[in-house]
Amino acid sequence: MHYLIYDNQCPFCCSIIEKVSSVIKRKDIAYTPITSKKGKHLINKHFLENINSVIYINQNNKVFIKSSAILNISKLMPFPYNLIYTLIIIPKFILNMTYDLIARNRMLFKKF
């Protein structure tokens, strides 16, 4: 099972999850609110209590956060969305800076 843990209190995050879930038709991915019982369990299980980011846990229990989570979840999407993964060639610190900028201002976006 794959898990995508997100901030269900954020309208922007919920909007993104709505779009992603409509594109990914797989049954083995759970879109898990961070405040849910399952979300809290996964956060405790993987020692992610201080992570304030989107979290993706793949079927092998490998954990990805921030831009790595976004890029790895894009691999599950059909073409052309899976091409987002090609951004992996950009240095991680630049991708995470971009992620952090969007995350800091996500409440301004409301809906995407």
DSSP 17-67: HHHHHHH---SSEEEEETTSHHHHHHHHHTT-TT--S-EEE-TT--EEEHH
The pLDDT of residue 12 is above 90: no
Strands 29-33 and 63-65: unpaired
Phi first, then psi: give them for residue 19, nearest 5 degrees.
Answer: -70, -45
Domain of residue 74 covers: 2-109
What is the tally of structural domains in the chain? 1
Give the tens place of pLDDT for each residue, 33-80. Answer: 999 999 999 999 999 998 889 999 999 999 999 999 999 999 999 999
**CATH number for the domain that contains residue 26:** 3.40.30
pTM of the model: 0.89
pLDDT > 90: percent of the chain: 75
Q: ∠ CA 13-19-23 to the nearest 5 degrees? A: 140
The pLDDT of residue 11 is above 90: no
- At residue 10, the pLDDT reads 84
Ramachandran sector of residue 33 (left: φ over 0; alpha: ψ -120 to 50; beta: rest):
beta
Q: Return d(Cα 112, Cα 109) in angstroms, integer.
A: 6
Q: Across the chain, what does the average pLDDT equal? A: 91
